[in-house]
Copies of this chain bind each other. A is one copy, B any other.
């Protein structure tokens, strides 16, 4: 059993920006030299999220609209009353979507479907530099 770790940064373009990081995950699993185990993709942030999504323009638009409907910016957030940074909705969206995804791998490749990408969602109201951690344990 071994561990392998890779970190990288993503410069996001602001609220609703989506980044497909599947290839970084595939590359990390390959480079680890392991054939079977678990790969955890994680972001140490409270206004970003990770989801699996078919990364095509229609669904990129649909997930932004779903977030606007479900956890709207127009609601008054107590967070914003205190801190005035206008990103209360971004924090709540992050809690609902989650900031960590664990994917099994086998034969040196993650168990992801053809139409299933690992996607970083920028939820904050401005451009951010996001750190992504891929931590692998296996053999």
Contact partners of A83 in chain B: CB under 8 A: 56, 58
* Cα-based distance from A30 to B57 in the complex (angstroms): 43
Interface string of A37-60 (1 = CB under 8 A from B): 110101011100001111011110
- Give the contacts of A77-127 with B (CB-CB under 8 A): 77-83, 88, 91-92, 94-106, 111-113, 115-116
A52-B98, A62-B88, A91-B53 are contacts. A42–B133 as well, Cβ < 8 Å? no
Of the candidates B37, B65, B116, the one whose C-beta lies within 8 Å of that of A99 is: B116
Contact partners of A23 in chain B: CB under 8 A: none
The closest CB in chain B to the CB of A82 belongs to: B58
The answer to whether A46 touches B57, judged by C-beta atoms less than 8 angstroms apart, is: no
Q: Interface residues of A: mostly helix, strand, loop or mixed? A: mixed
Contact partners of A46 in chain B: CB under 8 A: 52-54, 113, 115-116
The answer to whether A97 touches B99, judged by C-beta atoms less than 8 angstroms apart, is: no
Contact partners of A51 in chain B: CB under 8 A: 95-96, 98
Contact partners of A100 in chain B: CB under 8 A: 52, 101-104
Of the candidates B81, B99, B113, B135, the one whose C-beta lies within 8 Å of that of A106 is: B135
